[in-house]
């Protein structure tokens, strides 16, 4: 048994390192040959997770064919907007019998598809599970306690990934609700941007809690309308990931919101974060879908307005505060 992890960002690196530390043969595929050489030679990823040492046994390569050649299990930790391109390259290589695990959190802008649907289009018939939950890379790489959920339409596939990934520091639960797991993972990033802005503007803990909670209502409203199980969204992939993302400066989406709230342009805020800010991309596909489906997502719409429509933060906040009062719980 051998693992190939595609994507040498912070989370891909942390997951690959966790597997290698447990004595499992693991190779990390890097898009950048220089990055692969540095990881292989000095056992660090200075571009991501700077300051953390990596397992000496962790291999790294920029050759996709080499990474896939002997791998039985393939983990994709690729930003959602780049996932299709990577899978199209994978498709041209021998992949029969390999099992895939997607860690991507987002919605493809061009198609409005979640990661598992991108897999279905590019690699039809592939054995696939999706994993999500509150799991900051900076804590996973330090073996701090983490709990996540592995979801697959095939229970045996979900249980297989549970058996491979579970450890005393990395607890894995299973689910059959792939849509719910990926929907919670995608939308919480948008809500975290809003919470980051509120913190930068010093609107207080009450506002922070209100945004996170009403953000959960938006996740539930959208998820249920799309066919997700509400219990999934009340679990690790929904509430759990939302809490971690909205209440930690490890969260790149929260830090992005902080920077925007402090007056930086979205472009400069993304540069400051130094990682892909999935929520800033997801909100475009999210609001487009919600408008077509007639689903009300005021917080997501507010984030879209100040990122892409030129609205001021003051206008967005005022728009949220002066909305017509409504019951807390209402039909989706």
Active centre residues (catalytic): 188
75 SS3 class: strand
CB within 8 Å of 108: residues ≥ 6 apart: 80, 81, 83, 84, 114, 115, 118, 285
Contacts 24+ apart (CB under 8 A), 273-277: 275/9, 275/10, 275/48, 276/9, 276/79, 276/81, 276/252, 277/189, 277/193, 277/252, 277/253
For residue 163, the tally of other CB atoms under 10 A from its CB is 11
Are residues 100 and 131 in contact, defined by beta-carbon separation less than 8 angstroms? no
For residue 113, the tally of other CB atoms under 10 A from its CB is 19
Could you tell me where the DSSP H helices lie in 201-265? 205-226, 230-233, 241-246, 252-261
């Amino acid at each position: 048994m051998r693992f190939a992890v595609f994507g040498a960002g912070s989370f891909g690196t942390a997951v690959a390192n966790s597997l290698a530390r447990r004595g499992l043969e693991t190779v990390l595929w890097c898009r950048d040959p220089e990055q692969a050489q540095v990881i292989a030679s000095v056992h660090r990823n200075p571009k991501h997770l700077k300051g953390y040492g990596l397992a000496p046994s962790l291999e790294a390569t920029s050759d996709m064919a080499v990474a896939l050649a002997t791998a039985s299990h393939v983990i994709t930790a690729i930003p959602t907007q780049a996932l299709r391109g990577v899978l199209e390259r994978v498709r041209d290589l021998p992949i029969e019998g390999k099992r895939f695990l997607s860690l991507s959190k987002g919605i493809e802008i061009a198609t409005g598809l979640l990661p598992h649907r991108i897999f279905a289009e590019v690699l039809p018939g592939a054995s696939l599970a999706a994993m999500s939950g509150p799991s900051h890379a900076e804590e996973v790489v330090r073996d701090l306690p983490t709990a996540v959920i592995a979801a697959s339409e095939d229970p045996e596939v979900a249980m297989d990934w549970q058996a491979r990934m579970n450890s005393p520091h990395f607890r894995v639960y299973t689910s059959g609700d792939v849509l719910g797991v990926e929907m919670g993972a995608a939308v919480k990033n948008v809500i975290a941007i809003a919470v980051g802005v509120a913190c930068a503007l010093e609107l207080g803990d009450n506002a922070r809690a209100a945004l996170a909670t009403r953000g959960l209502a938006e996740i539930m409203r959208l998820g249920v309308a799309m066919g997700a199980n509400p219990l999934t969204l009340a679990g690790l992939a929904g509430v759990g990931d939302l809490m971690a993302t909205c209440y930690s400066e490890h969260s790149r989406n929260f830090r992005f919101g902080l920077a925007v709230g402090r007056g930086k342009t979205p472009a400069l805020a993304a540069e400051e974060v130094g990682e892909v800010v999935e929520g800033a991309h997801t909100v475009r596909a999210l609001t487009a879908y919600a408008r077509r489906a007639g689903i009300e997502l005021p917080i997501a719409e507010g984030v879209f307005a100040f990122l892409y429509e030129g609205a001021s933060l003051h206008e967005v906040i005022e728009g949220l505060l002066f909305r017509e009062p409504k019951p807390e719980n209402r039909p989706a």
